[in-house]
Chains A and B, each alone.
Chain A
Amino acid sequence: MRVAVITFPGSNCDYDGYQAFKLLEGFEPEFRWHRDRTLGSVDAVFLPGGFSYGDYLRPGAIAHLSPVMEAVKAFASGGGPVLGVCNGFQVLCESGLLPGALLRNETLRFRSHDVHLRVETTRSPFTSAYARNQVLRIPIAHGDGNYTASPEELAELEGDDRIPFRYCTSDGQLSPEANPNGSAHHIAGILNAHRNVLGMMPHPERAVEDVLGSTDGLGLFESLRAHLSGASLAGASIS
């Protein structure tokens, strides 16, 4: 299973993503540069975190116009799984692959620490290995993660079960204190209508080894692997 890890000028989590995919048997990550016009033959795309183009204008605004994004859009519209983390989420919103936008954190502070996430749906290529209401501990590191969308879009996201992750307390409760950036509806990640594109602010690729302090991000990569290999998840266990 080949995964294209996209590098924009200013990306800084591309190697973290590469390494996470490398850890799981079956994945073959490969870097793609922002100027590439094609992805080649790949099975999934990873848009990493960082500060593409220095966050000039708005985070993700310039990156979404780079040549490689045309190929990513075509891949996504063909049903290929696309995972955007942090700046990758911002790029997905700017490109219109996901609805809404990410504003400056409500506190105006750059927040870099672990958060707790509640898994809200297992019905996606990225969350099938988790259990509904499972609480994960995964790091965030962002200044612009305050998700907003129109009331109609938020209602659609809720109604279609397209919010796989919400910020929560360690025991799974939603509270303003557990929401690190002021995101609407405590949203940490969203899916597109076809459920093959996921954008999220927390970094699952930084929670895949004990030495990193948490392995709660592994389930996401395991879900994707199961989805790509078409394997049945019956009886699958979470490491």
Chain B
Amino acid sequence: MKRYHLEVHVKPRPGLLDPQGKAVAHALTDLGYAGVADVRVGKILEVDVEASSEADAQARGEEMCRKLLANPVTEDFRVTVVGVLEEA
């Protein structure tokens, strides 16, 4: 078993209203940034997980997203294995 470092991106689904993103876009425009067309606010979770392989780590991360980390109604997710930390 190795310990893998996962980066999990969770963001509002396309087309879904993102009030936070809208407010940030307004604030950027107020700051003088012309042409800010859209901002979407999501989150990044860093997950260290033990797994037998990179593919296994990937699969476990995606399962975590389906069960908890992302809401399938409102959010999309992307799991990236960014590194192997150490022999666990």
Contact = CB atoms under 8 A, between A and B. Distances in A.
Contacts of B16: 103, 148
A117 B23 CA distance: 28
Interface stretch (A1-9, A20-28, A105-113, A228-236): A105-113
Contacts of B55: none
Interface stretch (A57-65, A125-133, A195-203, A210-218): A57-65
Q: Which bracket fits the contact residues of B?
A: 10 to 19
B20 A104 contact: yes
Contacts of A106: 17, 19
Interface string B46-68: 00000000000000000000001
B29 interface: no
B34 interface: no
A184 B16 CA distance: 12
Contact of A61 (B17, B20, B71): B71
A94 B71 contact: yes
A19 interface: no
A61 B19 contact: no
A93 B20 CA distance: 21
A101 B68 contact: no
A100 to B, nearest CB: 6
A42 interface: no
Given A65-B68, A108-B23, A101 B17 contact: no
B19 A57 contact: no
B69 A108 contact: no
Nearest to B72: A101
22 contacts: A57-B69, A61-B68, A61-B71, A65-B68, A94-B71, A99-B73, A101-B73, A103-B16, A103-B19, A103-B74, A104-B19, A105-B19, A107-B19, A108-B19, A108-B20, A146-B17, A148-B17, A148-B73, A149-B73, A150-B73, A182-B17, A182-B19
Given A65-B68, A103-B17, 12 more contacts: A93-B73, A99-B73, A101-B73, A103-B16, A103-B19, A104-B19, A104-B20, A106-B19, A108-B19, A146-B19, A148-B73, A182-B17
Interface of B: 16-17, 19-20, 23, 68-69, 71, 73-74
Interface of A: 57-58, 61-62, 65, 93-94, 99-101, 103-108, 146, 148-150, 182
